[in-house]
Chain A
Amino acid sequence: MKNLVLLLIVGLMASCTPEPIDIELPQAPSKIVVSSQYAYDTISQQNVLLVVLTKSFSALENNLPVIDSTGIHINPDLLVSGATVEVITPQETITLTEGDQGMYYAVNFSYVPNQLVKLVVKDAQNNVLTEATTGTTQTKDFEYVGLQQKGANKFLNYAIKDDPNTSNWYLVNYFTKQQKDSVPNYNDPRYIAKKLTEQDVSFDIYSDADFVNGTLTVEKNLGVYNYDTVVVAISEVTQSHYQFLTAQKRYGKFINQLRGEIINFPTNVKNGYGYFSANNPKVRILTFN
Chain B
Amino acid sequence: MNPKIYLYLIVLLVFSNANAQTIKVDGFITDEKTGESLIGVSVYNAAKSTGTSSNAYGYFSLVLNKPDTICFSYMGYSLLKQYVTNEKTIRVQLVSSAAELKQVVVKANVNRTQLNGTQEVDLKLLNRLPVMGGEKDVIKAIQFIPGVKKGADGTASMLVRGGAHDQNLILLDDAPVYNPTHLLGFFSLFNADVIKDAKLQIGAFDAKYGGRLSSVLDIHTIDGDHNKFRVQAATGILSSKAAIQGPMLKGKGSYLIAGRVSYIDQVFKLVNKELPFFFYDFNAKFNYELSPSDKIYLSFYNGDDYLNASAADSNNQVRLSSKMGNQITSLRWNHAFANKKMFSNITVFNSKYRYELLGDFEGNKVAVNSYVEDLGVRNNWEHYINPKLNLSYGFELIEHRFNPNETKLTGSFNDNIKEKAASLSSITESAIYFQSFYKVSNRIQLNTGIRASNGSSNLNMNFEPRLALAYQLNQYNGFHLSYTRMNQYMFLLTGGSVVLPTDLWFAAKGNIKPQQADQITLKHELKYERLKLQSELYYKQMKNLIEYKEGTTEFIINEVEKLITQGNGEAYGYDFSVNYNIGKFSFNGAYSLSWAKRKFSDLNRGEAFYARFDRRHDLNLIVGYEFNQRIGITGVWSYATGSRFTPIIGQFMMPNGNYNNIDVLPIYTGRNAVQLSPSHRFDFNVVIKNKPGKSFETEWHVGVYNAYNQTQPFRIKMIKADDGRISYKQTGLFGLIPHVSFQIKL
A residues near B (Cβ < 8 Å) are 5-7, 9-14, 16-31, 33, 35, 37, 52, 54-65, 67, 72, 74, 78, 151-153, 171, 173-175, 180, 188-190, 192-193, 195-200, 202-203, 205, 221, 223, 245, 247-256, 259-265, 273-275
Q: Assess the B740–A5 pair: CB atoms within 8 A.
A: yes
Could you tell me the distance in whole angstroms from the C-beta of B537 to the nearest C-beta in chain A? 33
Is B735 a contact of A18 with CB atoms below 8 Å?
yes
Of the candidates A21, A57, A254, which one forms a contact with B652 in the assembled complex, judged by CB atoms under 8 Å apart? Answer: A57
B585: CB under 8 A from chain A?
no
Q: Is B311 located at the chain interface by the 8 A CB criterion?
A: yes
CB distance from A206 to the nearest CB of B (A): 13
A197 — which chain B residues lie within 8 A by C-beta?
361-362, 364, 411-414
If A192-B361, A256-B552 are given as contacts, then 17 extra A-B residue pairs at C-beta distance below 8 Å, sorted by A number, are A9-B739, A10-B267, A18-B736, A23-B728, A23-B730, A25-B649, A27-B649, A28-B667, A35-B655, A58-B651, A60-B726, A65-B664, A196-B416, A198-B414, A221-B415, A259-B497, A265-B665
B651 touches A56 (CB 8 A): yes
B656–A248 contact, CB under 8 A?
Answer: yes
A-contact bits for B663-693, CB 8 A (1 contact / 0 none): 1111111010010110000000000000000
Q: Is the CB of A264 within 8 A of B271?
A: no
Residues of A within 8 A of B655 (CB): 35, 37, 52
Please tell me if the beta carbons of A248 and B732 are within 8 angstroms of each other in the complex.
no
Q: Using CB atoms, name the residue of chain B closest to A245.
A: B657
Among B552, B653, B671, contact of A65 (Cβ-Cβ < 8 Å): B653
B561 to chain A, nearest CB (A): 13
| B657 with A248: CB separation less than 8 A | yes
Minimum CB–CB distance for B718 against chain A, Å? 7
| A16 contacts B663, C-beta separation under 8 Å | no
Q: How many A-B residue pairs have CB under 8 A?
A: 248
- The smallest C-beta distance from A90 to any residue of chain B, in angstroms, reads 27
**Distance in Å from the Cβ of A131 to the closest Cβ of chain B?**
17
* Docked pose: A255 CA to B556 CA in angstroms: 10
**Contact residues in A for B671 (Cβ distance below 8 Å):** 262
Segment at the interface with A among B110-118, B144-152, B707-715 = B707-715
**Given known A-B contacts A20-B711, A20-B729, A189-B311, A65 and B662 have beta carbons under 8 A apart:** yes
Q: List residues of chain B with CB within 8 A of the CB of A249.
A: 657
A residues near B718, Cβ cutoff 8 Å: 60
Judge whether A25 and B652 touch: CB under 8 Å: no
Residue B511 interfacial (CB < 8 Å): no
How far, in whole Å, are A175 and B251 apart by their CA atoms in the complex? 80
Q: Which residue of B lies closest to A256 (CB)?
A: B553
Is the CB of B320 closer than 8 A to any CB of chain A?
Answer: yes
Q: Given known contacts A26-B669, A57-B650, is B550 in contact with A263 (CB within 8 Å)?
A: yes
Query: Is chain A's binding surface mostly helix, strand, loop or mixed?
Result: mixed
Interface residues of B (CB under 8 A from A): 237, 267-268, 270-271, 273, 309-311, 313, 316, 318, 320, 361-362, 364, 366, 411-417, 495-498, 548, 550-555, 604-605, 646-669, 671, 674, 676-677, 706, 709-711, 713, 716-719, 726-732, 735-740
Which of B311, B554, B664, B706 is close to A63, meaning CB atoms less than 8 Å apart?
Answer: B664
Complex Cα gap A188–B313 (Å): 11
A192:B318 contact, CB within 8 angstroms: yes
Residue of A nearest to B315 (CB): A190
16 example contacts (A-B, Cβ-Cβ < 8 A) are as follows A10-B270, A24-B728, A26-B669, A56-B650, A59-B650, A59-B666, A72-B661, A173-B657, A189-B311, A190-B311, A192-B318, A193-B364, A197-B362, A197-B364, A247-B551, A262-B496
A16-B551 contact in complex given A6-B237, A54-B653, A173-B659, C-beta closer than 8 Å? no
Neighbouring B residues of A189 by C-beta, 8 Å: 309-311, 318, 320
Chain A residues within an 8 Å CB radius of B667 = 28, 56, 59, 273
